[in-house]
C-alpha cells in the first residue's frame, strides 16, 4: 500500500516516512504543494497525509484538487498545527477522513493509518522510537572549540531522534584537536538533522555563533533559530522549554536565565557567582533593561530578528549577548524591545569542567562592557546627527 505525505517542512516528513516505511508502506513525500498534485496523479496513493499551512497553496487546495478536480475517494488525513475550528470543519466538509493536530506521536499516527487502510505486516516488527511530530521546526547553533573530549554526542543524537523538527548546526571554531572529526562522525547518517559548519580559523565564540545563526537563517523550513553551549550546562530539555514559550507567545527572543530558586538545579562556583552578580548589575545599568542574566548560553529567536541581531560582527568575543540586546533596543526602541524579549528561568544549569572562560577573562569583562557602552552610544549619536543633517538639508525644520 502506498502513502503520499505532503508538508512544506522536511524535518516533519523525515521521521514520518521512516516510521511508515518500517511498517511496510511504500511512502513518497513532497514539500512542494504544487508538485504534490502531479505526484498524486502518477503515484496513485492509497492514502494522502497533508499539512494545511503551506506556502503558495494550502493543504485545503490539495484536498479540493483530490476530491473535486480528480473526483477521487482516496482517503485523506490532515496532519497540521492549525487548530482553527472553522478550518477543521471545512476539512471534514470537503471529505477528509481524519484530522490530526500537531504535536502528536508517531505511534498515534501509525495507529490512525492502520485504522484507515489496514496494516501491511500482520506480525509485530521492531520500529524506531516514538518520536513526537512537532508543529514547528527549530535550528540550534552549537559553537565548538577543542571539544573533542567534552562533546556529549549521545545526548545530542538521542534528542534529535526523539524530537522531530530539530536541526543541529555544530560550528567548529578552528579547533586544534580532533573536534572536526568528532563532529563529522556525529553527523554521519544524520545529514538531514545535523550540519557541521567548519571555520578554518578560530574567531571566538561570538563569531562562531554569528556565522552559524546566519547560515541556519538560510533554511526556509525553520521557524525559530537559537544557540546552545556544547557542554550542555543547559540541557536540551530546558532548551525545548524555551522553544515552547516562544511558539506560544508574541516574544521574538526567549533567553534562559540561571537564577537560583527552589526546585531548580543551578550549580555555580561561589567565586563565579559573585563576579556574575557584579557583571549583571553593570549590564543592567548599560542596557537599562531589567535583565537578571544576559550571559546564559541558551537563547531562541524568531527568524525575523536574526539579521538585526547578527548581520554585523560583534565588537567583543564574550559579551555578544549584551550586544544582541543593544541592537534590538536600537532597532525597535527600548519599550518595544522590552516587550519582544522574555527571560525564562532554567530548571537546570551546571558549570562544566574545562570552561573556556577563565577568572582572568571574567575580570576583563568590566572593561569590555565599557567598550560596548561607548560603541553603541557613539553609533546612536552618529545616527541622530545624520538624521538632523538630513532635516536641515531638506529644509524640514519647524521654527
> Over 50: is that where the pLDDT of 202 sits?
yes
> Over 70: is that where the pLDDT of 131 sits?
yes
> Over 50: is that where the pLDDT of 101 sits?
yes
> Over 70: is that where the pLDDT of 262 sits?
no
Is the same domain home to 89 and 206?
no
Q: How far is CA 274 from the centre of its chain?
A: 32
> Over 60: is that where the pLDDT of 357 sits?
no
Is residue 398 included in any domain, yes or no? no
Region 190-212: mean pLDDT is 94
Return the C-alpha cell found at 248: 506560544
What is the Cα–Cα distance from 305 to 250, expressed in whole angstroms? 13
Highest mean pLDDT among 97-106, 348-357, 359-368: 97-106
> Over 90: is that where the pLDDT of 346 sits?
no
> Over 70: is that where the pLDDT of 321 sits?
yes
Region 294-323: mean pLDDT is 90
CATH for 212: 3.90.550.10
Region 154-169: mean pLDDT is 89
Is the same domain home to 113 and 140?
no
Is the same domain home to 233 and 143?
yes
Is the same domain home to 248 and 148?
yes
Question: Kind and range of the H or E element at 344?
Answer: strand 341-345
Cell 538521542, residue located:
158
Pick the last residue of a domain from 57, 87, 117. 117
pLDDT tens per residue, range 180-193? 999 999 999 899 99
Task: Express as a percent the part of the chain with pLDDT over 70.
Answer: 80
Per the model's pLDDT, the better-predicted residue between 395 and 216 turns out to be: 216
Return the C-alpha cell found at 357: 572562560
Q: Are strands 224-228 and 298-302 parallel, antiparallel or unpaired?
A: antiparallel
Q: How far is CA 177 from the centre of its chain?
A: 28
Query: What integer best gives the mean pLDDT of the chain?
Result: 84
Q: What is the pLDDT of residue 228?
A: 94
> Over 50: is that where the pLDDT of 263 sits?
no
Is the same domain home to 113 and 143?
no
Is residue 394 included in any domain, yes or no? no
> Over 60: is that where the pLDDT of 9 sits?
yes
Q: What is the pLDDT of residue 129?
A: 73
Q: What is the pLDDT of residue 399?
A: 27
Is residue 112 included in any domain, yes or no? yes
Region 338-358: mean pLDDT is 72
| Domain tally, the chain | 2
Q: Which residues of 72-110 are buried (b: 16+ CB within 10 A; e: fewer)?
A: bebbbbbbbbbeeeebbeebeeebbbbbeebeeebeebb
What is the Cα–Cα distance from 395 to 79, expressed in whole angstroms? 58
Q: What is the pLDDT of residue 268?
A: 52
Per the model's pLDDT, the better-predicted residue between 270 and 135 turns out to be: 135
Is the same domain home to 180 and 214?
yes
> Over 90: is that where the pLDDT of 350 sits?
no
> Over 70: is that where the pLDDT of 337 sits?
yes
Is the same domain home to 144 and 284?
yes
> Over 70: is that where the pLDDT of 227 sits?
yes
pLDDT tens per residue, range 266-284? 555 555 555 566 666 666 6
* Residue 293 exposed, middle or buried by CB count within 10 Å (0-12, 13-18, 19+): buried
CATH for 83: 3.40.50.2300
Is residue 392 included in any domain, yes or no? no
> Over 60: is that where the pLDDT of 393 sits?
no
Is residue 56 included in any domain, yes or no? yes
Region 27-33: mean pLDDT is 95
Is the same domain home to 211 and 184?
yes
Is the same domain home to 207 and 317?
yes
pLDDT band at 352 (very low <50, low <70, confident <90, very high): low
CB 11, CB 165: distance < 8 Å: yes
Is residue 397 included in any domain, yes or no? no
Region 162-170: mean pLDDT is 91
Q: What is the pLDDT of residue 362?
A: 58
Q: What is the pLDDT of residue 282?
A: 65
Is the same domain home to 16 and 152?
no
Per the model's pLDDT, the better-predicted residue between 391 and 2 turns out to be: 2
Region 356-364: mean pLDDT is 58
Which residues form the domain of 159? Answer: 136-261+272-380
pLDDT band at 132 (very low <50, low <70, confident <90, very high): confident
Is residue 9 included in any domain, yes or no? yes
Is the same domain home to 93 and 143?
no
Q: What is the pLDDT of residue 310?
A: 96
CB 210, CB 139: distance < 8 Å: no
Highest mean pLDDT among 225-239, 335-349, 359-373: 225-239
Is the same domain home to 163 and 236?
yes
Q: What is the pLDDT of residue 20?
A: 95
Q: What are the distances in angstroms from CA 68 to CA 63, 72, 93, 215?
A: 8, 8, 12, 42
Q: Say how many CA atoms lie within 13 Å of 9 toward its Cβ.
A: 26
Per the model's pLDDT, the better-predicted residue between 183 and 132 turns out to be: 183
Per the model's pLDDT, the better-predicted residue between 193 and 122 turns out to be: 193
Region 104-121: mean pLDDT is 92
Region 93-97: mean pLDDT is 96
Q: What is the pLDDT of residue 353?
A: 53
Is residue 172 included in any domain, yes or no? yes
Amino acid at each position: 500500500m502506498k502513502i503520499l505525505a505532503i508538508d512544506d517542512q522536511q524535518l516533519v516528513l523525515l521521521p514520518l516516512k521512516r516510521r511508515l516505511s518500517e511498517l511496510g508502506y511504500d511512502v513518497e513525500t513532497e514539500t512542494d504543494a504544487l508538485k504534490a498534485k502531479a505526484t498524486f496523479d502518477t503515484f496513485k496513493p492509497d492514502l494522502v497525509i497533508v499539512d494545511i499551512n503551506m506556502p503558495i497553496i494550502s493543504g485545503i487546495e490539495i484536498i479540493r484538487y483530490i476530491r473535486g478536480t480528480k473526483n477521487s475517494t482516496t482517503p485523506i488525513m490532515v496532519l497540521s498545527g492549525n487548530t482553527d475550528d472553522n478550518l477543521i470543519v471545512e476539512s471534514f466538509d470537503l471529505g477528509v477522513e481524519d484530522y490530526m493536530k500537531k504535536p502528536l506521536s508517531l505511534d498515534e499516527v501509525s495507529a490512525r493509518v492502520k485504522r484507515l487502510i489496514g496494516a501491511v505486516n500482520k506480525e509485530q516488527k521492531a520500529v524506531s522510537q516514538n518520536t513526537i511530530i512537532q508543529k514547528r521546526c527549530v535550528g540550534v547553533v552549537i559553537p565548538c572549540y577543542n571539544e573533542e573530549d567534552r562533546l556529549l554526542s549521545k545526548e545530542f543524537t538521542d534528542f534529535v531522534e526523539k524530537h522531530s523538527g530539530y536541526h543541529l548546526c555544530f560550528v567548529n571554531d578552528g579547533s586544534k584537536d580532533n573536534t572536526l572529526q568528532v563532529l563529522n562522525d556525529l553527523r554521519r547518517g544524520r545529514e538531514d538533522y545535523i550540519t557541521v559548519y567548519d571555520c578554518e580559523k578560530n574567531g571566538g565564540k561570538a563569531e562562531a555563533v554569528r556565522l552559524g545563526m546566519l547560515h541556519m537563517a538560510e533554511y526556509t523550513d525553520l521557524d525559530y533559530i537559537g544557540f546552545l553551549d556544547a557542554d550542555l550546562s543547559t540541557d536540551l530539555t530546558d532548551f525545548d522549554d524555551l522553544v515552547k514559550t516562544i511558539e506560544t507567545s508574541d516574544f521574538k527572543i526567549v533567553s534562559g536565565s540561571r537564577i537560583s530558586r527552589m526546585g531548580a538545579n543551578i550549580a555555580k562556583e561561589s567565586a563565579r557567582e559573585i563576579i556574575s552578580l557584579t557583571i549583571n548589575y553593570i549590564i543592567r545599568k548599560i542596557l537599562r533593561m531589567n535583565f537578571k542574566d544576559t550571559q546564559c548560553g541558551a537563547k531562541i529567536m524568531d527568524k525575523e530578528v536574526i539579521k538585526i541581531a547578527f548581520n554585523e560582527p560583534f565588537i567583543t568575543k564574550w559579551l555578544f549577548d549584551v550586544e544582541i540586546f543593544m541592537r534590538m533596543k536600537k532597532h525597535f526602541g527600548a519599550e518595544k524591545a522590552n516587550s519582544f524579549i522574555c527571560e525564562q528561568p532554567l530548571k537546570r544549569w551546571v558549570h562544566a569542567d574545562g570552561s573556556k572562560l577563565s577568572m582572568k577573562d571574567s575580570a576583563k569583562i568590566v572593561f569590555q562592557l565599557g567598550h560596548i557602552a561607548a560603541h553603541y552610544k557613539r553609533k546612536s549619536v552618529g545616527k541622530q546627527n545624520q538624521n538632523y543633517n538630513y532635516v536641515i538639508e531638506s529644509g524640514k525644520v519647524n521654527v
